[in-house]
Chains A and B, each alone.
Chain A
Amino acid sequence: MLITVKLFATFRNGRFKVAGQALPPGTDCRTIVLSLGLTEEEIGVVMVNGRHAALDYVLQESDTLSLFPLVGGG
């Protein structure tokens, strides 16, 4: 299946902003996080298609996964 991965803030350093990835069915968010060399502790917010998701969420065809470190403002 094809999905889109978007990275934000410090996660972009040495990586990318947006990338398409071809993955076997059944891949969850955690697998992608680890494949990017990120740790679970570094993850602030995980969104799939603009909705908050857990790391064990299993991705579906053409999902967009967005990963953020813990950030804030206001």
Chain B
Amino acid sequence: MDKILRVNMSDLSTKIEAVPTAWAGLGGRGLTSTIVAAEVPATCHALGANNKLVFAPGLLSGTAAANSGRLSAGAKSPLTGTIKESNAGGTAAQMLAKLGVKALIIEGLPTEDKWYSLHVSKDGVTVQEETELIGKRNFAVVEAVEARLGKKTGLLTIGPVGELKMTAANISVKDPDSKLRSHGRGGLGAVMGSKKIKFISIDDQGAQGVKVADPEKFKVAARTFAKALLDHPVSGEGLPTYGTNVLVNILNEAGGLPTQNFKVGQFAGADKISGETMNETITARGGKVRHGCHAGCIIQCSQVYNDKDGKYVTSGFEYETIWGLGADCCIDNLDDIALADSIMDDIGIDSIETAVMFGVAMEAGILPWGDSKEMLRILNEEIGNGTPLGRIMGGGAGSLGKAYGVTRIPVVKNQGIPAYDPRSVKGIGITYATSTMGADHTAGYTIATNILNVGGYVNPLNKDGQVELSRNLQIATAAVDSTGMCIFIAFPALDIPECLPALIDMINARFGIDLTGDDVTNLGKHILKVEHQFNIEAGFTNIDDRLPEFFSTETVAPHNAIWDFSGAEIDEFWNF
């Protein structure tokens, strides 16, 4: 039987609960957002006793379905003040699903000034005091926990940034190679730090496993689904070869690559940090071009990036990180960006928020444009050690910009705007403005249709059709985020007719139910409305669904594009 594990940090008690009927058909984001909306007062302090941190594997996690190993984490965000869902790969989702853990809910705050760890196993969850690893960075935590509990142990951990409750802190998830994937956005690492939990270990020995109601039907659907993923040029060839970083050149050509803190839309050094260059560099240095963040991933968009001497530097080296520390900071040294990526994993900070923050820091004059060595020093010594400047920077782009009187701060609901200029790619601007998460490209990835010709084409420089495009994608994404599927299954799902029905067939076969395409769309709508309602109760209004002023007053080269949506046009988004 599936169960809910509940930990109360106020009295260090734990409980195993039955899954309420209303939650039975939910997983991933659908479940974490439902639990947060039901149990967390929207007006609470995100780092206080009334916030809860919730983890849930997706509906298909733990099955043989390709790319189904994503874990959802939810809470009220200390960065945005909104509801927050952030999902990540790694091994934890599949382990939790096999243990029958529908969700892990962590509530309360410890009364004593002590740190703890949690351990999840077939017997439930336990709380232990932790002393040895406090203050330690993430890779040291991985090594120590593996030495204590064994190599196969699953792990969720926070670094010093999370311990110090900086609002850009992430939660790291161990991947199959003992490296890290991240619940990056929204400062959920600070919520874990507020509850004084350094790490959560998972042991799936003796797990019940995932029961599939109709194994034959599941097998057929899983095969069709996997074929669609491998047949589509994006998921079958582009992502495995170049990773997400293939986007640098195409956004640069389209004039949508934010450069020098969103001053212009093209970067002279783009080719040096592009996916094509990265692919050549990795190959020449004996790294790996393909790499999966969880077992069962057949897209393999990750990679292993080595230094000049062939020594491992980082993996999961993403376009948004490379764009942000690269073009947005005018840095064209990919090796230094790779080092920064590794430090951010180690200290436990969101690589998107931090990249956007560095663009603002350079605009503020804290370090010169393009100074990658000083950026590395700041990451290691200021943010990593929690100096006063480091803590302001660890609060993200909004925190630093405010402290230094910067007027051009690219955030929505205080979350940094990633990688795509909303003036020259207008659909994504609607997603940034309206997402319940604050500026989040993954919430409704209109780049697919605005730039990449996937799922049709909507002119990125024109207002027509953008609200509808963003709405449809946000609804679909909320549903996909509930399945445990990687977001990149959207590329084949938008273009290959058999893909989405096969996904629905897998869910039906897994649970012995009979969902239709409409049911799935309605689930997506329902999740968005639950999240939106939470934000309204937290005090957000339609005025918060707006981009920063400078996007409407400064044009962006080369197309001299401007953000020209009226408030009323943006508000149409919620008309469903």
Contacts and interface: CB of A to CB of B under 8 A. Distances in A.
Interface of A: 6, 8-10, 12, 17, 44-45, 47, 50-52, 66, 68-74
B157 to A, nearest CB: 25
B241 A45 contact: no
Contact of A72 (B318, B441, B459, B488): B488
B461 interface: yes
A17 B270 CA distance: 13
A8 B460 CA distance: 20
Given A9-B249, A74-B244, 11 more contacts: A10-B241, A50-B254, A50-B255, A50-B559, A71-B238, A71-B242, A71-B246, A71-B250, A74-B441, A74-B447, A74-B488
Contacts of B534: none
A66 B238 contact: no
A8 B249 contact: yes
A71 B240 CA distance: 10
A51 B561 CA distance: 12
B327 interface: no
30 contacts: A9-B238, A10-B237, A44-B233, A45-B250, A50-B254, A50-B559, A51-B254, A51-B559, A52-B457, A70-B452, A70-B453, A71-B233, A71-B234, A71-B238, A71-B242, A71-B246, A71-B452, A72-B234, A72-B235, A72-B238, A72-B239, A72-B454, A72-B491, A73-B238, A73-B243, A73-B247, A74-B441, A74-B442, A74-B447, A74-B488
Interface string B251-292: 001110000000000000001000110000000000000000
B435 to A, nearest CB: 14
A9 to B, nearest CB: 6
Contact of B253 (A6, A12, A70): A6
B451 interface: yes
A47 B249 CA distance: 12
A40 to B, nearest CB: 13
Contacts, number: 93
A17 B451 CA distance: 20
Contact of B558 (A50, A66, A72, A74): A50
Of B275, B276, B442, B459, chain A has the most CB atoms within 10 Å of the CB of: B276
B448 interface: yes
A45 B451 contact: yes
B120 to A, nearest CB: 31
Nearest to A71: B238
Contacts of A47: 253-254
A74 B217 CA distance: 32
Contact of B448 (A8, A69, A72): A72
Contacts of B378: none
B265 to A, nearest CB: 9
Contacts of B448: 72, 74
Contacts of B442: 74
Interface residues of B, number: 43
Contacts of A70: 232-234, 238, 452-454
B319 interface: yes
Contacts of B246: 9, 71-73
Contact of A44 (B239, B276, B453, B460): B453
A29 to B, nearest CB: 14
B314 interface: no
B301 interface: yes
A68 B250 contact: yes
Contacts of B237: 10, 69
A1 B124 CA distance: 73
Interface of B: 232-235, 237-239, 241-247, 249-250, 253-255, 271, 275-276, 301, 318-319, 441-442, 445, 447-448, 451-454, 457, 459-461, 487-488, 491, 558-559
A3 to B, nearest CB: 15
A66 B274 CA distance: 15
Of A8, A47, A68, A73, chain B has the most CB atoms within 10 Å of the CB of: A73
Nearest to A44: B453
Of A6, A17, A47, A51, chain B has the most CB atoms within 10 Å of the CB of: A51
A38 to B, nearest CB: 13
Contacts of A69: 233, 237-238
A52 B461 CA distance: 10
Contacts of A68: 250, 253
B513 to A, nearest CB: 30
Contacts of A10: 237, 241
Given A8-B249, A50-B558, A73 B319 contact: yes
B244 A73 contact: yes
Given A52-B457, A70-B453, A74-B442, A8 B254 contact: no
A8 B461 contact: no
A65 to B, nearest CB: 10
A10 B478 CA distance: 33
Contacts of A71: 233-234, 238, 242, 246-247, 250, 452
Contacts of B445: 74
A74 B255 CA distance: 17
A73 B419 CA distance: 11
A45 B491 CA distance: 15
Contacts of A50: 253-255, 558-559
B276 A8 contact: yes
Contacts of B441: 74
Contacts of B241: 9-10
Contacts of A12: 276
B238 to A, nearest CB: 4
A21 to B, nearest CB: 17
A19 B4 CA distance: 61
B461 A72 contact: no
B559 to A, nearest CB: 7
Nearest to B254: A50
Given A6-B253, A45-B452, A45-B453, A73 B245 contact: yes
A12 to B, nearest CB: 7
